[in-house]
Amino acid sequence: MPAPLRPRPAPAPDLLPKIIMGVDPGTQIMGYALIEVRGQRVDVLCYDVINMKALGSNHAVKLKRIFDRMLELIDEYLPDELAIEAPFFGVNVQSMLKLGRAQGVAIAAALSRQIPYVEYAPTKVKQSVTGSGNSTKEQVAHMLRQTLTLPPIAEASTFLDATDALAVALCHHYQKGNNITVSGGKSWGKFLADNPERLGASTGKKKAPAKS
């Protein structure tokens, strides 16, 4: 009789594909990016912004727009983890309150899909990407152009907001998930795999295919 086939060893955890969503919170423009990581390889799936300038001064309407768009992106790309930039403490208290609410709504959208999140200080993000915590937005964007293949985005004027979000996602990749335990949870993709009946409750979009 032929010898029984041995099961193939499972791939190393760091070689399994992982989708990371990066967010740079804002009350007028919020940057977002999604990257797929496989080992040390990073593919940019998309990076763009949620532009809320046309929504006027109604902050509640803007928060709903953030929440709705975050859910659309989550259901389309099925990210495993969310990395979000912590608000920068400025002198305008009202602006800080609004920015904190925008960040909280983005986090709430992720948590509603069982996605763990991690916050990173702006200086930590810049340090991870450029080597200096005092880098400008332009310097961050320049370094990302040097290290990644960036697809075009619709509005050139929003490029820096989108690349800021991309830097947050890349910063989290560089940490290799060491901070992910602070929020617990599991990925939305894993949740759908365990609960296929919930698939109909999403937008019906499929996860973007990995680039070869």
Catalytic residue numbers?
24, 85, 161
- DSSP assignments along 21-87, one per residue: EEEE--SSEEEEEEEEEETTEEEEEEEEEEE-GGGTT-HHHHHHHHHHHHHHHHHHH--SEEEEEPP
Look up tokens 């365990």; give the residue.
194
161 annotated as a binding-site residue = yes
Is the CB of residue 36 less than 8 Å from the CB of residue 25? no
User: Alpha-carbon distance 132 to 126, whole Å?
Assistant: 6
24 annotated as a binding-site residue = yes
Strands 81-85, 117-120: pairing is parallel
User: Alpha-carbon distance 87 to 101, whole Å?
Assistant: 10
80 annotated as a binding-site residue = no
**For residue 199, what are the contacts with CB-CB under 8 A and spacing of at least 6?**
192
**For residue 212, what are the contacts with CB-CB under 8 A and spacing of at least 6?**
none
Binding residues: 24, 85, 161
Residues contributing to the annotated binding site for Mg(2+)? 24, 85, 161
